[in-house]
Every structure is written in structure tokens, then in C-alpha cells.
């Protein structure tokens, strides 16, 4: 009896350690599997007909009439797949209206899935989710609003960039760069002005800051609320790998909300293995925000997505 009790005392810590190791191993396997799925989905999203590799043009509108089509006499020249004269975009102050070209709208030209007709085109400031789509053949277009400028964004589901897609490049996974940050709420929330690669700027809400430690040193990043309707934080940041292996302007990191919500102190997981390239890393026609000075880290983050173009 005494021997059984002694063996139990000896084996119990070993069993606890074994169970703990098995749990950690299972959690690590799940984490790696989730990241592999996320990476695969990133490539799928980019190759969709309305993804960033389909973006083939961004034309800024001038006050007055802006004719668009594939013919050389248009102010806005579309790819050869478009009809010679598709329509006229009239910019008057902050209003954009669509008008037919001489001879009327061509057959097959749709606005939000319906045959084209003269109408006002609504645009969201720096958020294009609900802007009506103008489609014809393999082309999809919509008007965007950036700062004081308005433009026509053009996508082609048969673009050369889609045909040449050669896969995304990633650093190896490294659990060291999955950290738990201390959430410091800003009450009331602050705001920041974000500059963009096309020279415009816009204001976003900053609900707080995430403070974390790497290699014994503490750093702080501030996210913005890109879409108040989503429980998602948007970090725009840059680290020293931008000089060599990652996209030079910045990378993006999306996370959920802190465990105690935005208004209360709490914790927030920052998994830098999920750092992704901004759209401007793939196409010159994107209007990406640049990181605020507070989000330019003096350290390398050799995880997440690498440069797409060498």
C-alpha cells in the first residue's frame, strides 16, 4: 500500500506535465492550422473578380463632364474590352451624375445589376462598400471619394495581373510574435488624420492603445476603427523589415476587440504572424493609408507577409 502511494506521488507530477505538454501541443497545432487556412484565404480573396489583382485603373475626375470608354476621344480611357463610348460622369461640386453618351448607353451596360440609365451616383467617403457598381463585359467600375477628390476605379476580371499571379510570400510561423498586449482605452476616444499614398488624408477614430513587450522592451501601437459596424481593430504599422523584405510603406494587422471591450482596460492578442500587405503592395491604383508616426516600430517583425514584388 505504501509502495502504491509512493508511486502515485512520483507519477502524478509526470502525468500533469505530460497532459500539459499535450494540451500545449494541440493548441499549437490548432494555431498553425488556422493560420494556414487564413493564408490560403488571403490568396483566394486577392484573385476574385473584384479583388485587388483585378484593379487596372484609377482615373481622377475633373469638374464638369468626364466621358469614359475605350475610344481615344474619351477623357477617361478604358481597356479595349469596353465599348468605345460607355457614358459621361458629370462632377458638379460634391455631386456625380451619370449621363449617356451620344447614341445612348450601349447594350450590356449595367448599374447595380440593372440596365444603365441616367442617375446620381452615391459615394462613401473613404469607404466604397456600398458604391454602385458599373459593369460591362469583364469590367467593373465605381466612383470613389478620397479627401476632396473623386475618381473612377476600374477592375477587370481578366486582368494581366490575375493571369500572372504567382502566389503570396510568407515568413515561417513564429509563436514568439504572438503576444498578449495590455489594452489602454482612450475615454473619450481620440482621432487621428491618416495620410494616403495618393496625397489625400482622412480622419479615423482611435479607441485606445495596445502596449506589448518583445525581447524585454515595451512598445505601443494605436489602432483605428475602420468600420464602426464591425467588432474589429485596424492596425497600420511599419517595422524595420520594410527596408529589405516587406512592403516599404506599411503592413496591416486586423484583430478583434480586447477582452473587456473598447472602453475598459483589458488584454488584446496581437499575432504579428497575421501581418498582411496593403492593397498598394499589389497594384499602383490603390489608395492606401500610411502608418501614423506612433506606429513606426524601431524593431524588425520578421513574420507575416513578405513583399509580393521583388
Which of 255, 213, 212, 218 lies closest to 234 in space, CA to CA? 255
pTM, whole model, 2 decimals? 0.87
Does the pLDDT value for residue 124 go beyond 80? no
- Which residue do the cell numbers 449617356 mark? 100
CB 148 within 8 A of CB 202: no
Task: For the chain, give percent helix, strand, coil, nearest 5.
Answer: 20, 35, 40
Domain chopping of the chain, boundaries: 52-163, 168-295
Q: Give the rounded percent of residues in the chain with a pLDDT score beyond 70.
A: 92
For residue 81, what pLDDT is reported? 87
Tell me the mean pLDDT in the region 150-158.
95
Which of 148, 101, 155 lies closest to 133 in space, CA to CA? 155
**Strand segments (E) across the chain:** 55-60, 64-69, 76-77, 87-92, 95-99, 110-111, 114-115, 119-120, 134-136, 139-146, 149-156, 178-195, 201-214, 217-221, 233-237, 251-255, 266-271
Which pLDDT tens digit goes with each residue over 235-293? 999 999 999 999 999 999 999 999 999 999 999 999 999 999 999 999 999 999 999 99
**Burial, 141: exposed, middle or buried (Cβ in 10 Å; 0-12, 13-18, 19+)?**
buried
- As assigned by CATH, the class of the 52-163 domain is mainly beta
3-state secondary structure (DSSP) of residue 127 = coil
CB 177 within 8 A of CB 272: yes
Q: Which H or E run includes 26?
A: helix 2-46
CB 265 within 8 A of CB 242: no
**Most confident range, picked from 23-32, 129-138, 237-246:** 237-246
Which of 308, 179, 289, 180 lies closest to 238 in space, CA to CA? 289
- Which residue do the cell numbers 502504491 mark? 4
Amino acid at each position: 500500500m505504501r509502495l502504491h502511494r509512493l508511486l502515485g506521488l512520483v507519477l502524478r507530477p509526470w502525468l500533469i506535465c505530460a497532459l500539459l505538454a499535450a494540451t500545449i501541443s494541440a493548441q499549437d497545432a490548432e494555431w498553425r492550422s488556422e493560420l494556414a487556412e487564413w493564408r490560403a484565404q488571403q490568396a483566394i480573396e486577392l484573385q476574385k473578380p473584384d479583388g485587388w489583382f483585378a484593379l487596372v485603373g484609377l482615373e481622377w475626375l475633373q469638374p464638369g463632364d468626364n466621358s469614359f470608354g475605350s475610344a481615344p476621344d474619351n477623357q477617361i480611357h478604358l481597356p479595349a474590352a469596353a465599348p468605345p463610348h460607355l457614358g459621361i460622369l458629370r462632377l458638379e461640386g460634391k455631386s456625380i451624375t451619370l449621363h449617356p453618351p451620344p447614341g445612348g448607353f450601349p447594350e450590356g451596360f449595367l448599374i447595380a445589376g440593372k440596365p444603365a440609365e441616367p442617375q446620381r451616383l452615391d459615394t462613401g467617403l473613404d469607404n466604397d462598400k456600398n458604391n454602385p457598381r458599373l459593369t460591362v463585359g469583364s469590367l467593373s467600375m465605381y466612383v470613389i471619394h478620397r479627401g476632396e477628390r473623386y475618381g473612377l476605379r476600374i477592375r477587370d476580371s481578366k486582368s494581366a495581373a490575375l493571369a500572372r499571379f504567382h502566389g503570396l510570400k510568407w515568413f515561417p510561423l513564429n509563436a514568439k510574435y504572438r503576444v498578449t498586449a495590455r489594452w489602454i482605452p482612450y475615454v473619450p476616444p481620440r482621432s487621428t488624420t491618416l495620410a494616403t499614398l495618393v496625397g489625400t488624408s482622412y480622419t479615423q477614430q482611435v479607441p485606445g492603445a495596445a502596449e506589448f513587450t518583445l525581447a524585454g522592451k515595451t512598445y505601443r501601437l494605436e489602432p483605428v476603427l475602420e468600420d464602426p459596424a464591425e467588432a474589429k481593430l485596424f492596425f497600420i504599422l511599419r517595422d524595420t523589415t520594410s527596408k529589405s523584405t516587406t512592403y516599404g510603406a506599411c503592413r496591416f494587422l486586423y484583430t478583434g476587440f480586447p477582452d473587456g471591450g473598447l472602453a475598459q482596460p483589458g488584454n488584446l492578442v496581437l499575432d504579428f504572424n497575421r501581418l498582411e500587405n496593403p492593397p498598394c503592395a499589389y497594384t499602383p491604383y490603390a489608395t492606401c493609408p500610411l502608418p501614423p508616426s506612433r506606429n513606426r516600430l524601431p524593431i524588425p517583425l520578421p513574420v507575416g507577409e513578405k513583399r509580393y514584388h521583388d
